[in-house]
Copies of this chain bind each other. A is one copy, B any other.
Amino acid sequence: MKVLRTVAEVRQWRTSAGTVGLVPTMGALHDGHAALVERARGENDAAIASIFVNPTQFGPGEDFAAYPRSEDADLALLETHDAAAAFVPSAEEIYPPGDDTRVMPGKIAETLEGAARPGHFTGVATVVAKLLAIVTPDRAYFGQKDFQQLRIIQTIARDLRLAARIVGCPIVRGPDGLALSSRNAYLSDVERATATALSRGLMAAERAFESGRRDADDLRSLVSAELEVWGLSAEYISCADPVTLQELSGPVDRAVLSLAARVGKARLIDNALLGIRLQDLDQL
């Protein structure tokens, strides 16, 4: 596996790589990332993962400094899963001196995580636009776990007429149901047990939806009821349009149920798609 550190090295590598699948990451890789790399490898001649803890997507009080970093283990994981290359740039390589351009994702970024974390999605959109311009992949792979992020990147790729297809991949969960996340490293054993309420709440609502419950408020309530049992209070529990991320009310045909909650030091998110498949969201 090639470890590339500069834009010039990536461009050079790209010329003979064939079709390429890009997996943008912030490192601290887990089985969720591994699934993205496997998918990228299966659908393209070569998979490349980027490892870059992007400063512009962290707010002032957030965990940029504390965010887990484990480059050696990350590179070993990528090699195990047959990535052809890893792109591990310095901050200056991504944000050159004088850098002042930002990609603004519009209304889809104003709700949910965008409301909770002002500026977060401008940072995400900007760094992903740069990575897509550097690598020029045929496809780029993002996890459903950060569902609003996935939809924002799909929307930006559509609007900016990027050639890359933005592929969403299902959430990978631990045996206890907790969605894999680099931030799970912040959890104690007790906190981790508590955190499993998030996925149980979403699954309860999903089962209810499948057996005919359609009211957005009802579905949200089913999630919050499970959280309350465990003494968790969510930052938000949302039942939103899965294309535009605008909040829904009344009966819903298709929706994304999503939530954010603090468990100990960790701020966790999770979601479930109702009435629509992940693969139907690309290019909507």
List A residues at the B interface (Cβ < 8 Å): 7, 11, 94-96, 98-108, 125, 129-130, 133-134, 136, 155-156, 158-163, 244
Contacts and interface: CB of A to CB of B under 8 A. Distances in A.
A218 B11 CA distance: 47
A100 B106 contact: yes
A228 B105 CA distance: 46
Given A133-B162, A134-B161, A136-B163, 12 more contacts: A96-B158, A98-B158, A99-B158, A100-B107, A100-B155, A100-B159, A101-B159, A101-B160, A103-B104, A129-B160, A130-B161, A133-B161
Nearest to A135: B161
Contact of A101 (B98, B99, B106, B136): B106
B106 A156 contact: no
A130 B63 CA distance: 34
Contacts of A108: 100
A101 B156 contact: yes
A134 to B, nearest CB: 5
**Residue in A95, A104, A161 with the greatest tally of chain B CB atoms within 10 Å:** A161
Contacts of A125: 101
A44 B50 CA distance: 32
A245 to B, nearest CB: 12
Contacts of A104: 101-104
A103 B106 contact: no
Contact of A100 (B96, B99, B105, B136): B105
Contacts of A159: 95-96, 98-101, 130
A101 B105 contact: yes
A100 B109 CA distance: 10
A75 to B, nearest CB: 22
A130 B160 contact: yes
A282 to B, nearest CB: 14
A168 to B, nearest CB: 18
